[in-house]
């Protein structure tokens, strides 16, 4: 990753719908150079996809929570099956396998607290759940631009 790759990455993360010509003009490079560099970022797996960001409130999913889950038994096969199940639920935004008091943290978005209660109670019925706790998210801020860290 050099300065040009980093600049292209920043532009695309801020607005992935920008044209190749627009980015080239902003960076002062030829459109062919811009196109080749973006292709290289995709080919190397630096850019893994493009998406549209959705306002959860606009789609009636304004209640977010982090669900902390402890499994039993703690076996990789159990964890993998459980993770696949939770990731497949439409309420799930993100799933994290973590160390510490919990095995997983699930970030979910639902219509309201009644829907959150129902989600947690349904999930708690699974026999591999040893403990489950939920924390309502009052505010959620996410970094939309991620750059490589400078080398020391």
Delimit the domains of the chain by residue range: 3-43, 56-137
Average pLDDT over residues 13-39: 96
Q: Per residue in 133-145, pLDDT tens? A: 999 999 998 888 8
The β-bridge relationship of strands 63-71 and 92-97 is: unpaired
Residue 6 pLDDT > 90: yes
User: Which pLDDT value is given to residue 69?
Assistant: 97
Calculate the alpha carbon distances from 32 to 29, 35, 36, 49, 67 in Å. 8, 5, 6, 21, 47
For the chain, the average pLDDT equals: 95
The reply to whether 3-43 and 56-137 are identical in fold is no
CATH code for the part of the protein at 56-137: 3.30.70.920
Q: What is the pLDDT of residue 56?
A: 95
Pick the CATH number of 3-43 from 1.10.10.10, 3.40.50.10470, 3.30.70.330, 1.20.144.10: 1.10.10.10
d(CA 96, CA 40): 29
pLDDT at 68: 98
pLDDT for 151: 81
pLDDT in tens, 71-99: 998 899 999 999 999 999 999 999 999 99
Task: Look up tokens 């292709």; give the residue.
Answer: 39
Sign of CA dihedral 136, 66, 140, 83: negative
């Amino acid at each position: 990753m050099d300065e040009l790759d980093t600049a292209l990455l920043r532009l695309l993360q801020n607005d992935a719908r920008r044209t190749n010509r627009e980015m080239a003009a902003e960076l002062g490079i030829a459109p062919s150079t811009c196109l080749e560099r973006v292709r290289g970022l995709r080919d190397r797996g630096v850019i893994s996809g493009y998406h549209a960001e959705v306002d959860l409130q606009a789609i009636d999913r304004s209640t977010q929570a982090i669900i902390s889950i402890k499994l039993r038994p703690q076996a990789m096969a159990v964890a993998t099956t459980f993770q696949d199940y939770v990731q497949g639920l439409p309420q799930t935004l993100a799933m994290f396998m973590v160390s510490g008091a919990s095995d997983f943290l699930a970030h979910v978005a639902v219509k309201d607290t009644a829907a959150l209660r129902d989600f947690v109670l349904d999930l708690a019925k699974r026999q591999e759940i040893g403990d489950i706790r939920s924390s309502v998210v009052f505010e959620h801020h996410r970094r939309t631009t991620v750059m490589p860290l400078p080398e020391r």
